[in-house]
Chain A
Amino acid sequence: MSHVTAAPTAARPPRAGRPADPSPRPRARGDRGTLILLLPALVPVLLFSVGPLLYGIYLSFTDARGGRNAVISFVGLKNFGDVLADTDFWSSFKIGLIWAVSVTVLQFLAALGLALLLNQNLRLRTLARVLAMAPWAMPPIVIGLMWRLVYHPNAGVLNAVLQDVHLLDHNVDWLNDFGTALPAIIVVGVWTGMPQTTVVLLAGLQGVPKELHEAAAVDGASVWRRFWNVTLPQLRPVIVTITALDFVWNINQFAMVYALTQGGPGGRTRLPMLFAYEEAFRYGFFGYAAALGVAITIVVLVVLGFYLWRQMKESR
């Protein structure tokens, strides 16, 4: 957990850690006032977010079922044993990792390129900025449906265009073909997440002091060297934060893929969230699905922790 909060803290100026309370007023009274103001926000978060989370972790050690009057009894680590033995889940999890890593990496590379372009004085810049926002605002379900239209075997634009330029001589059913389904949804994932990543990287780029670039240019550093030795190191905290968040968001993706493929064909795009959803709400295995949720969380935390640890070690 603390790894996640560590990322943005790393970007903070070192001394801003915990400033002394600047208010000269007596503390005790102020704290009570603060608590009253915070209470309306605290209660729902505790009751419907923190509470359920803890309850969910408890459920992962039980045999809870979906039925209304099902008796819940403690089964220890049984669910986790089942998770480890569940080959269907692990193949779904493997797909989830391939998906999340590819989307995060491609998203980042695409967004970095776009952010670098938008940071220049080019025409069309404003237009590009506005257009880049669209995927961010659209309902994920609509994004899924829209790309279904693009990928449609007969009426889709992709097959038409590819045949026009003679890259293809027959119609491909992109979302139903075992080989193309996963790459196809990865493209949609990149399209969807690129804007947000671009915006964050762009803000980071604008925070790189101009003087550094100018000094490097005076010293005769090429554009490429300046990018590699000045821009990237300055951008590092931002990059680490946004890629870590993107990874988490991507591995937890549900709606868009549900609209695109519902996990098909033959489970080739069944991300872990879709798998766990089916276990819980189609088959009613609440306890088991909760254990899947815990297992996913643990793996994500390990991956994230390793990534952030390496980044911090390297930046030292």
Chain B
Amino acid sequence: MKTTLKYAGLLGYLVFLVFPLLWLLSTAFKTPREMATLHPRWIPHHPTLRNFSDAFAAQDLTGSALRSLIVAVSVAVLTVAIALPAAYALARRRSVLNRIAIGWVLVSQVFPVVLIIIPLFIILRRLDLVNTLPGLVLVHVTFVLPFALWMLQGYVRGVPRELEEAAAVDGAGRIRTLVNVVAPLLAPGVVAALLFSFISSWNEFFFALVILKDPDKATLPLTLVKFTGAEQAARLGPLAAASLLATVPSLVFFAIIQRRLRSGLTAGAVKG
């Protein structure tokens, strides 16, 4: 009886979590005619791929996906390149700086982005970076950096200091130790940080909305919002199709790193 109750509860959660996703999937394959019927149904009557081609025809999905890709890849590479040395330094020497860095990660959450975006916009305008992809990359890197740093720091801690000392005793130089001993052990952490930074940038909307005014520069989330314009039932198919496509990279990458992200996040939340 009690077990039954538990399963009922779990099932309830599953339904709540899954039904919007299934509805998105279902809508993406429905014909416009079916969308206009009085009582919508779960399984499309005549499944169609037309919504996907319609979505590409209606908005510049290819171009904006490409721009999103350029931005997200740049953000990921830059963030990790900057964060890795810093993470190493922070993890190996527990100085005051360490506490300040962790403190900033938390404090930066409190300030509303509006307060930061206005001065940032003025600064970027002075640098002629408004309406450019490098401008957006710059902003994304700044905002992904703290969490990436936090993640990577955890991985550096996981590499036993004794290994480095042993390599030093064996006569390996500082650089050689880092390249041959530390780097391979950090590889999984670096991949996780890369993917996390990629997803954050790929999904990001607010900064893109403010910085990229020109429709020719729009990233994917900006283009997706344009599907909400005139919303007759017939237009919902392409909207669903485009949403589905935009989610695929995030979902795939997230599936790869979710275990690591989980341990990183919870280590932070539980131990501080």
Please report A residues at the B interface, Cβ cutoff 8 Å.
Answer: 1, 4-5, 7-9, 11-12, 18-19, 21-23, 30-31, 33-34, 37-38, 40-42, 44-45, 48-53, 55-57, 59, 64, 68, 110, 113-114, 117, 120, 122-125, 127-128, 130-142, 145-150, 152, 154-157, 160, 163, 191, 194, 196, 199-200, 203-204, 207, 237-238, 241-242, 245, 248-249, 251-252, 254-255, 258-259, 272-273, 276-277, 280-281, 286, 289-290, 292-294, 296-297, 300-301, 304
Contacts and interface: CB of A to CB of B under 8 A. Distances in A.
Interface in B115-133: 115-120, 122-123, 125
Contact of B9 (A64, A117, A200): A117
A137 B88 contact: no
Contacts of B20: 146-147, 149-150, 191
Contacts of B224: 139, 141-142, 145, 259
23 contacts: A30-B93, A37-B88, A38-B85, A38-B86, A48-B138, A49-B143, A51-B123, A59-B119, A117-B9, A122-B6, A138-B203, A139-B221, A139-B250, A146-B243, A149-B240, A150-B19, A155-B236, A163-B39, A277-B210, A280-B117, A281-B210, A286-B118, A293-B115
B158 interface: no
A40 B103 CA distance: 18
Contact of A138 (B115, B250, B268): B250
B82 A8 contact: no
Contacts of A148: 228, 231, 239
A224 B135 CA distance: 54
Interface of B: 3, 6-7, 9-11, 13-14, 16-21, 23-24, 27, 35-36, 39-42, 81-83, 85-86, 88-90, 92-95, 97, 99, 102-104, 106-120, 122-123, 125, 138-139, 141-143, 145-146, 149, 199, 202-203, 205-206, 209-210, 220-221, 224-225, 227-228, 231, 233, 236, 239-240, 243, 246-247, 250-251, 253-255, 258, 262, 265-266, 268-272
A84 B110 CA distance: 21
Chain A contact residues: helix, strand, loop or mixed: helix
B243 A142 contact: yes
A234 to B, nearest CB: 11
A141 B242 CA distance: 11
Contacts, number: 308
Chain B contact residues: helix, strand, loop or mixed: helix
Contacts of B146: 45
B262 A203 contact: yes
A186 B203 CA distance: 21
Nearest to B126: A68
A89 to B, nearest CB: 12
A280 B211 CA distance: 13
Contacts of B119: 51-53, 55-56, 59, 290
Contact of B23 (A19, A49, A133, A157): A157
Contacts of B149: 41
Given A48-B139, A68-B125, A157-B19, A238 B114 contact: no
A132 B21 CA distance: 12
Nearest to A275: B114
Contacts of A11: 270-272
A56 B115 contact: yes
A133 to B, nearest CB: 5
A53 B111 contact: yes
A49 B149 CA distance: 15
Given A1-B110, A254-B113, A255-B206, A41 B17 contact: no
A254 B262 contact: no
A215 B88 CA distance: 43
